[in-house]
Amino acid sequence: MPTFSRLRDYALLLIGALIQSLSMVLFYIPGRLAAGGVSGVAQLAGNFTGWPVGVLYVALNLPLIGLGWRHLGGRRFLARTVFTVLAYSIGMDALSPALPKTGLTADPVLNVLYGGVVGGIGVGLVLRAQGTTGGTDILALLLKRWRGIPLSHSYVMTDALVVLMAGLSFGWDLALYAVVALYIGGVAAEFAAEGVRVVRVATIISSDPQRVEERIMGDLQRGVTMWPGVGMYSGEPRQVLFCTVTRAEVNRLKAIVREVDPQAFVVIGEAHEALGEGFKPLKAG
């Protein structure tokens, strides 16, 4: 990997880890909202022992990091994971004395919203840099490799266990608030990691496919793919058009098809991401 790309990734890892630390120190810990995974376990253990949450987070991650290094990715995995785990834990313990121990607010709803969004953005930046915060990320990957358990199931099981422990420690009201924070954090993490890349895909069946594709290519400057099909009811051959457009271009696309062939059949769906000419370049990172 080029040096610039590596430096960019490590900068994102550092920023993402520090943002996560802020979410813990300002919202999760003072609000007694259990974060998911190993962070939540470290938080609960710190509540009982009085030990720094960052130190406990590193201690809990050590055996998981060892397993991940051996089975998941060797030195590259180890370097990025250790860097992120240390930045996250040091950030928590270093920021705690400098920030209000009671956080910014005592309102649980505000702690849920801001804790989830801020923490999720931090996670997303780490994921964008092809890193991991360790903890249950490693455990989930290992369970998938060894037992074939889907990643989503692993996260649900580990987070459910943490929420159960939080309910017994902090009370069930705060445990339920923590579930909402986990969901918000997941949405924010996805947004920060991948951005707004949702596009629309259109499948068009028309009696005049050549004119439709000419208008789309000419007016929208979008590529069109045509493949042969057969109408199963009539048994007649049909040409099927397929194209990808942005959300802003959907109405123009429908207007074009309507002008050329008002009897056309159009299906417009949502795609998570489009890579290639006219959209985001197809490359790593």
Tens digits of per-residue pLDDT, 63-81? 888 877 777 666 767 788 8
Q: Is the pLDDT at 54 greater than 50, yes or no?
A: yes
Residue at a domain's end among 194, 209, 244? 194
Single-letter amino acid code for the residue at 168: L
Is residue 280, in this structure, part of any structural domain at all? no
Question: pLDDT-based confidence at 155, cuts 50/70/90?
Answer: low
Return the pLDDT at 268: 94
Total domains present in the chain: 2
pLDDT band at 224 (very low <50, low <70, confident <90, very high): very high
- What backbone phi and psi angles, to 5 degrees, belong to 230? -135, 125
pLDDT value of position 63:
86
Q: What pLDDT band is residue 35 in, cutting at 50, 70 and 90?
A: confident
Q: Are residues 187 and 207 in the same domain?
A: no
CATH number at residue 231: 3.30.70.120
- 281 lies in some domain: no
Q: Are 12 and 70 in the same domain?
A: yes
Q: Do 160 and 207 fall within a single domain?
A: no
Q: Are residues 185 and 203 in the same domain?
A: no
Q: 188 and 254 share a domain?
A: no
Whether 199 shows a pLDDT value over 90: the answer reads no
Question: Is 279 part of any domain?
Answer: no
Q: What is the pTM of this model?
A: 0.72
CA angle 133, 112, 151 (to 5 degrees): 40
Last residue of a domain, one of 194, 219, 250: 194
Residue 262, judged by CB atoms within 10 A of its CB (0-12, 13-18, 19+), counts as exposed
Q: CA 66 to CA 252: how far, in whole Å?
A: 54
Same domain, 187 and 203: no
Asked if residue 243 and residue 140 are part of one domain, the reply reads: no
Burial group, residue 223, by CB count within 10 angstroms (0-12, 13-18, 19+): middle
Same domain, 15 and 105: yes
Last residue of a domain, one of 146, 166, 194: 194
